[in-house]
Amino acid sequence: WQNSSHIDCNNMASSIGSIVGICNPLLDISANCDEKLLQRYKLEPNNAILADEKVHLPLYEELKSMPDVEFLAGGAGQNSIRVAQWMLQSPHATSYLGAVGNDVYAQIMTEKATRDGVNVQYYKNPNGVPTGTCAVCVTDQGKNRSLVANLAAANTFSDEIISEVQWKCVTDAKVVYITGFFHTVSPKTIMKVAKECEKTNKTLCMNLSAPFLLQVPPFFESFKAVMPYVDVYFGNETEAKTLSEAMSWGLTDIKEIAKKLARTPGKANARPRTVVFTHGAEPTVIAIGDADRLWNVDEYGIIPCADEDIVDTNGAGDAFVGGFLAGMLKGEPIDVCVAMGNYGANVIIKRPGCSYPHKPSFKYRGLTLKY
């Protein structure tokens, strides 16, 4: 994207549908939980997994019965697109694709995302499959969250059901963002979109999303198949280390892993690959390179947040990606993209779920800390 011209997001005609996200739209069922609940359902405090029907289905009902339960329009990709839309403040600058059921949960999500300004283009499953849900078990006073996704209708998206309107969202976009979670749903759709990005010189961004996606063979094969087309990778330190294990790189330092991924040969276009690895409260690592050379590698500090100000870290990584994508669309340099990502994440962790005030108050003063 570094080679693209600056996009004026105040000019609505130039920004409508400029970012499209593809992922699994889920209604988040979020509540504060204790360690005993995690143990009962065999969950880790800061992880994301797919629901096992034999083990996890009672969890959703248990969370619904809790006094502080909240229902939020979620799914990692939808969170990122909503935050990007919020940062851009231009109606329908973003679009979002995914599959839902024909039910009240889908109605709630459509209303929330549309109110946020996102051009939502859900495929509504006609066969009675319900909208997917995600159990969000918040522990340690908001610092950790365990996610258990029951995909349901989200799992029914495929390359065969894409409508003309949905495909137009892809062809009109300048930046395409697909989460790793979509590897579990439709690898064929991912490849179809990836080849369109290569053909029309769009920037394709992808998130590693969760360790299990790099450990389960069919999902990892889909990851490797699309790798030549990916211009920008996002991930966190745990996913980075899991990737190194899966690729047999023998690396444990996330900066070295970022450099290795940036320089992985076989890229389908001449654009250098950018790798962005967040690391909780530690600096974010960004490497840019291609098979022939490492163009750049830097670390950027986060915006500090006092423990007592943290309400819920669920969605912090998604919000960082959303802010970063908004910066990319505007043609901003790396340090501004990071600052926009940091701002989005800092706002979200002080509020329940992936929520934010009516308008952002982001102002960049050149203070992103570089190490």
* Residues identified as active-site: 318
Answer for the pair 99, 122: CB distance below 8 angstroms, yes or no. yes
> Per DSSP, what are the bridge partners of residue 29?
71, 135
Residue 319: in which H helix or E strand, if any? helix 316-329
- Phi and psi at 152, nearest 5°, equal 45, -120
- The burial of 70, by beta-carbon neighbours within 10 Å (0-12 exposed, 13-18 middle, 19 or more buried), is given as middle
Separation of alpha carbons 179 and 184, rounded Å? 10
CB contact at 8 A, 161 and 154? no
Can you tell me the distance from the alpha carbon of 165 to that of 156, in angstroms, rounded to the nearest whole number? Answer: 18
Task: Give the whole-angstrom CA distance, residue 368 versus residue 121.
Answer: 35
Query: What sign does the CA torsion over 75, 81, 87, 92 have?
Result: negative
> CA 119 to CA 187: how far, in whole Å?
23
d(CA 174, CA 17) in angstroms, rounded, equals 8
User: What whole-number distance in Å separates Cα of residue 114 and Cα of residue 317?
Assistant: 22
Element (H, E) at 238: helix 237-246
In this structure, what token pair is assigned to residue 334?
Answer: 């790396």
3-state SS, residue 272: coil
Using DSSP, state whether 176 is helix, strand or coil.
Answer: strand
| Cα(275)–Cα(26) distance, integer angstroms | 27
Helix 237-246 vs helix 254-262: crossing angle, to nearest 10 = 60
What's the token pair of residue 6? 């600056």
